[in-house]
């Protein structure tokens, strides 16, 4: 049976942990050749080594525009092209409208919006320049629909990312470059565990307590999100482009 990403070159930005690492694993499983990108060399190389011979690592900070573009350039230099880009890197530091200072706001824009803009710019330029189809998937957030009061700068950046996704998809649809976003909800990752403990004084049982409050009795799982990402960057998702898909158990607009 053919695998979904056979012969595809896939760059996963933020692929060293959480959803990004899950996407990298799923992409390799589905036949892709994967470049794992992250800020920390040891983490990136460890993930790539664990994935085997069809994975390699590249190091850079997406918050720096030149480094963001360099991640794509390194992928192209190594493999001759880029077929699929997945933007998973992000910042979730807390801040309300009244308590967010310019520095925190700028950090959110740099990591959650500006960085993906420039990885997309570099990747799409390669796809268009070669005259070949390609795909981009941006990991966004259900909070982009409005979000919690303590996520004001995060929401601003992710809402911008969703607008960018649609703009770029429209601009490059006749180039056969498909660009979509996934609005993921509350997800069980090591990063979320650290966030809950740092910002919300959560104890060791916070996951169990959260499950009790959720409709499906569980937080989102990395493997499930990774499967959705792989589908959307593969030819199996057909002509879908410019879609911002809510991947969550909360229904935006629904009221009791």
Please identify which of the residues 51, 74, 153, 154 carries the catalytic annotation.
154
SS3 state at 81: coil
SS3 state at 201: coil
What span, in angstroms and rounded, lies between the C-alpha atoms of 136 and 11? 10
What span, in angstroms and rounded, lies between the C-alpha atoms of 150 and 101? 13
Is 150 assigned a catalytic role? no
Please count the residues of the chain. Answer: 256
Are 15 and 24 spatial neighbours (Cβ–Cβ below 8 Å)? yes
Residue 240's Cα: distance from chain center in Å? 18
What span, in angstroms and rounded, lies between the C-alpha atoms of 228 and 232? 6
Tell me how far apart the terminal alpha carbons of the chain are, to the nearest angstrom.
45
DSSP for residue 95: B
What span, in angstroms and rounded, lies between the C-alpha atoms of 88 and 136? 11
What span, in angstroms and rounded, lies between the C-alpha atoms of 114 and 107? 10
Rounded CA Rg of the chain = 18
Active site residues: 154
């Amino acid at each position: 049976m053919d695998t979904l990403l056979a012969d595809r070159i896939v760059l996963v930005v933020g692929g060293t942990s959480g959803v990004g690492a899950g996407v990298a694993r799923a992409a390799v499983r589905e036949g892709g050749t994967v470049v794992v990108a992250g800020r920390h060399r040891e983490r990136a190389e460890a993930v790539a080594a664990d994935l085997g011979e069809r994975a390699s690592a590249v190091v850079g900070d997406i918050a720096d525009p030149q480094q963001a573009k360099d991640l794509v350039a390194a992928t192209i230099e190594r493999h001759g092209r880029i077929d699929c880009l997945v933007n998973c890197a992000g910042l979730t530091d807390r801040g309300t409208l009244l308590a967010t200072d310019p520095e925190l706001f700028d950090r959110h824009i740099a990591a959650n919006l500006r960085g993906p803009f420039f990885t997309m710019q570099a990747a799409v330029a390669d796809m268009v320049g070669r005259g070949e189809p390609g795909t981009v998937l941006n990991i966004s957030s259900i909070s982009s629909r409005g979000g919690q009061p303590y996520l004001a700068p995060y929401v601003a950046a992710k809402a911008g990312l969703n607008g960018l996704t649609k703009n770029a998809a429209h601009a490059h649809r006749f180039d056969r470059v498909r660009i979509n976003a996934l609005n993921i909800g509350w997800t069980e990752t090591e990063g979320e565990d650290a966030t809950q403990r740092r910002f919300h004084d959560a104890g060791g049982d916070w996951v169990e307590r959260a499950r009790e409050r959720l409709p499906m009795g569980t937080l989102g799982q990395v493997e499930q999100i990774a499967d959705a990402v792989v589908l959307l960057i593969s030819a199996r998702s057909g002509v879908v482009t410019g879609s911002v898909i809510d991947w969550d158990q909360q229904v935006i607009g629904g009221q009791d």
